[in-house]
Structures are given as structure tokens and as C-alpha cells.
Amino acid sequence: MSSGVDETVAYSVQKRRLRRWRIGAIAAVAVSAMIAGRYGQQSGNGSWRNGAGKSTPHLVQLKVHGMIGSDVSRWTKALADADKDKNVKGLLLDIDSPGGAVTGGEELHDAVERFAHDKPVVTTMGGMGASAGYMIALPSKRIFAERSTLTGSIGVLMEAPEFSGVLSKIGVNVQELVSGPLKGQPSLTKPISPEGHVMLQGVVSNLYDQFVAMVVTGRHMPEDKVRSLADGRPYTGEQALKVGLIDSIGGQEDARNWLSKASGLSGEPKIVMIGEERKTFTLKRRIFGWFGGQVMSWLGLDADIFLPQTHAAIDGAVSIWKP
């Protein structure tokens, strides 16, 4: 008789445990949904993320912050999609970049230019809008910058390290077979030849001419004036305004007000962020990141020296301001 009672009690205990596990699982799913929902809600200042507000006329904002890499497809696709959307009435281009890959800057410039053919574009520049960062602002109808913004730095750079001196000191001799005298230029193991220097300078000069042409078209300035300004130097916002490289001193609020009027939207229009990189949110990453940070703190170490820094991939010639 006692055996039957024990089995009944054990079954009841097991059933209660299973019920608690189910309730816990449902709660975990609900919390995850709430956390995910936070990234899709309104972010303040009339700005919407992840598609909210797209069913009514609105503006879009594209942030280009940091180094511009060779692959800018995330941004160019976002611009193309926004251009096709009839409810999108204008673009606020938010730039804070020292520049980067010439190819990436060119592709993004062309994407902004295509958008600007159909709808108004305004650019606002933060701490920097230099080199390729300035290049992508050129199709804008109006460019705003702060007084202290570093902009301009119009030019192209191509460089390659060369270790022949070090290799010769340690007795390393590199044998190189090439299909032609200019194929191996530049090289890590030997200096650039006079012919290679002429060839590479021709490439840089051609890319520079293309950049100058973009400035001539975008800023409606004569070529000789652009070339006099385009010697690679950066300008502050105040200096850039005086020479015609920007239109106004101001920040994002000034740019939004201008764009609202230019797009014909009254009041405070909605602004939808586009081209943003998706943020992954995983419990494993959260726990590991917190635990790892605690361990480094306990050991008195800086975690940054152990974690690789993420930079945009840059191939080929660059247009960047290098202090």
C-alpha cells in the first residue's frame, strides 16, 4: 500500500517540476521577445527603425561613420530601395568619416547621386567628412558642417611597405618571377623601379582627376579653382565655407529643418534609419562578454588588448585623411 502512495507522490512532484520548467521557458521566450522588440521601437527625435512608419510619407537617414571600406553594398542597396519607395521624400546623409577606399567612396557617391536625381539630399558632417567621406557628400543639394569639422582633404593615396633593406640584413633573398617589368610593382621585397613609379603615379593621378571632376560637378565650381583647393589639405568647417566646399555651418537639426522644407513635408516628419548593420543579441554572447570583462577586471588587465579591432576592409588606392 505504501508503494502506491510513494509512486503517487513522486508523480505529483515530477508533474510540478515539469510545470515549472514550462512556465520558465514561456517566461524566457516572452523576455526575449520584449528585448528584440526594443530594437524595433521608436528611438526618439522622430526617428523610426526597422520599418516602422514606412507606410506614410517620411524621410530617411543614412549614417556613414568610421572608415569607408571597399564593400559598401549594404549602404548602396539601402539607398536604391529608399529611392524606389514613393513614401520616401528625402535623404539625410550623416557623415563622420576620415575617408577610406576610393572604390567604396565612388560607389557610394554614385548611389547618393542617383537618389539625388529624384529626391532632395542634405548632408551633415560631424567631426570629419574628409577625402572619400567628403566625396560621398558631393551630390547633396546642401552640405552642413560644424565649425570644427575637418573636411576636404581632396586627393588619393597609394602606398606599400618595402622590406628589402631589412631582408638583406638578415640574409634573406627573394626571387620573383613576373610576366612583365611592371607586374610586380609595387613589391614588398624590392624598391619601385623608375618605370613602376611613373606607372603608379599615372594611376593615382587618374583617380585624382576623377575626384576633382566629382567636386566640379557637385559644387558647381570651375576646375581650376577646385584644383587649387585639392592639394590634399584638410579644411575646418569655417575654412570650407569660405572657399565653397560646404554650404552652411550647422548640425543635424539645421539639416533636418532644411530637408523638411525641401521635401515638402510639414511639421516634424518621420525619419527612418536605413542601411544599419543588424545587431546580434544572444545570451551566449552576453554571458561570455560579461564574464570575460569581469575576469580581465579581476586580473587588472585591459580587455581591449586581447580583442581584435574591427575595421572596414580596404583594397587598392585610398582617399583618406591621415594626421
Highest mean pLDDT among 13-22, 196-205, 223-232: 223-232
Whether residues 60 and 143 fall in one domain: yes
Residue 264 identity (one-letter amino acid)? G
Whether residues 61 and 196 fall in one domain: no
Q: Please list the helix, strand and coil fractions of the chain in percent, rounded to the nearest 5, in that order.
A: 45, 15, 35
Per-residue model confidence (pLDDT) at position 181: 86
Would residue 290 count as lying in a domain?
A: yes
Would residue 49 count as lying in a domain?
A: yes
Whether residues 305 and 166 fall in one domain: no
Could you count the other beta carbons within 10 Å of the beta carbon of residue 86? Answer: 6
Q: Is the peptide bond before 57 cis (omega within 30 degrees of 0)?
A: no
Q: Which of 70, 131, 140, 260 is catalytic?
A: 131
Whether residues 202 and 160 fall in one domain: yes
Q: Is 183 a catalytic residue?
A: yes
Q: Is 205's pLDDT higher than 60?
A: yes
CA-CA-CA-CA torsion sign (198, 132, 75, 122): negative
Whether residues 105 and 200 fall in one domain: no
Whether residues 142 and 263 fall in one domain: yes
The larger pLDDT score, comparing residue 285 to residue 62, is at 62
Would residue 106 count as lying in a domain?
A: yes
Length of the chain: 323
String of DSSP letters for 93-104:
EEEEE-EEEHHH
Instruction: State pLDDT tens for residues 109-150.
Output: 999 999 999 999 999 999 999 999 999 999 999 999 999 999
Per-residue model confidence (pLDDT) at position 45: 41
Instruction: State pLDDT tens for residues 244-303.
Output: 999 999 999 999 999 999 999 988 899 999 998 765 444 444 444 544 444 444 444 433
Would residue 193 count as lying in a domain?
A: yes
Residue 42's pLDDT band (cuts 50, 70, 90): very low
Whole-number Cα distances in Å, 119 to 2, 89, 220:
83, 6, 19
Domain holding 149, by residue range, is: 40-154+232-323
Is 83:115 a contact under the CB 8 Å cutoff? yes
| Domain end point (choices 192, 218, 244) | 218
Whether residues 201 and 54 fall in one domain: no
Whether residues 214 and 253 fall in one domain: no
Q: Cα–Cα–Cα angle for 85, 47, 286, nearest 5°?
A: 110
Q: At what angle do helices 102-118 and 73-84 cross, to 10 degrees?
A: 10
Number of domains within the chain: 2
Residue 74's pLDDT band (cuts 50, 70, 90): very high
The C-alpha atoms of residue 321 and residue 41 are separated, in whole angstroms, by 37
Instruction: State pLDDT tens for residues 5-15.
Output: 455 545 565 65
Would residue 22 count as lying in a domain?
A: no
What number is the average pLDDT over the span 24-46?
51
Q: Is 64's pLDDT higher than 90?
A: yes
CATH code, 306? 3.90.226.10
The C-alpha atoms of residue 272 and residue 255 are separated, in whole angstroms, by 15
Whether residues 144 and 238 fall in one domain: yes
Whether residues 129 and 269 fall in one domain: yes
The C-alpha atoms of residue 243 and residue 149 are separated, in whole angstroms, by 15
| Domain end point (choices 173, 189, 218) | 218
State whether residue 273 is helix, strand or coil. Answer: strand
Residue whose entry in the numeric block shows the C-alpha cell 569639422: 149
Whether residues 133 and 241 fall in one domain: yes
Q: Which of 183, 242, 261, 322 is catalytic?
A: 183
Would residue 205 count as lying in a domain?
A: yes
Per-residue model confidence (pLDDT) at position 28: 62
Which range is least confidently modeled, 13-22, 52-61, 223-232, 269-278?
A: 13-22
Could you count the other beta carbons within 10 Å of the beta carbon of residue 204? Answer: 15
Would residue 2 count as lying in a domain?
A: no
Q: Is 235's pLDDT higher than 80?
A: yes
Whether residues 109 and 249 fall in one domain: yes
Would residue 288 count as lying in a domain?
A: yes
What number is the average pLDDT over the span 227-256?
96
What is the reported pTM? 0.73
